[in-house]
Amino acid sequence: MYDLSELPHSRDLRKGRVSLDNHSYFITKCVHHTVGEPLAHPDCAELVVSSLVWAKQQGWWRILGFVVMPDHYHAIIGLRSARQLSSVMESIDKFTARRLNQLLQRKGPFWQDGFYEHLVRDRKDYDDILAYVHSNPVEAGLADSPDVWEHSTANSAYANEIDWAWLGPSMPEIRECRYRFVKEDVPPGYW
Give least dist CB 55 to Ni ion, A. Answer: 20
Residue nearest to Ni ion (CB): 136
Residue 58: CB minimum distance to Ni ion, A: 25
Is residue 190 close enough to count as binding Ni ion by CB under 5 A?
yes
Give the one residue of 136, 163, 171, 185 binding Ni ion; rule: CB under 5 A: 136
Residue 83 or 135: which CB sits closer to Ni ion? 135
Stretch of 48-56, 101-109, 128-136, 163-171 contacting Ni ion, by CB under 5 A: 128-136
Choices 48-56, 58-66, 78-86, 136-144; region in contact with Ni ion by CB under 5 A? 136-144
Q: Are 66 and 52 in contact (CB under 8 A)?
A: yes
Q: Which stretch binds Ni ion (CB under 5 A): 2-10, 101-109, 129-137, 169-177?
A: 129-137
Amino acid (1-letter code) at residue 20: L
Give the residue with the Cβ less far from Ni ion, 29 or 83.
29
Cβ(121)–Cβ(174) below 8 Å: yes
- SS3 sequence of 68-81: EECCEEEEEEEECC
- Give the integer Cα–Cα distance in Å for 106 and 41: 14
10 binding Ni ion? (CB under 5 A):
no
C-alpha angle 79/82/87, rounded to 5°? 75
Distance of closest approach, residue 119 Cβ to Ni ion, in angstroms: 18
Enclosing H/E stretch for 94: helix 85-104
Span from 6-14, 115-123, 135-143, 147-155 in contact with Ni ion (CB under 5 A): 135-143
Contact 62/166 with Cβ under 8 angstroms? yes
**Which residue, 24 or 136, has its beta carbon nearer to Ni ion?**
136
111: β partners: 31
Q: What is the C-alpha separation between 137 and 144, in angstroms, rounded?
A: 8
Contact residues: Ni ion, CB under 5 A = 136, 190-191
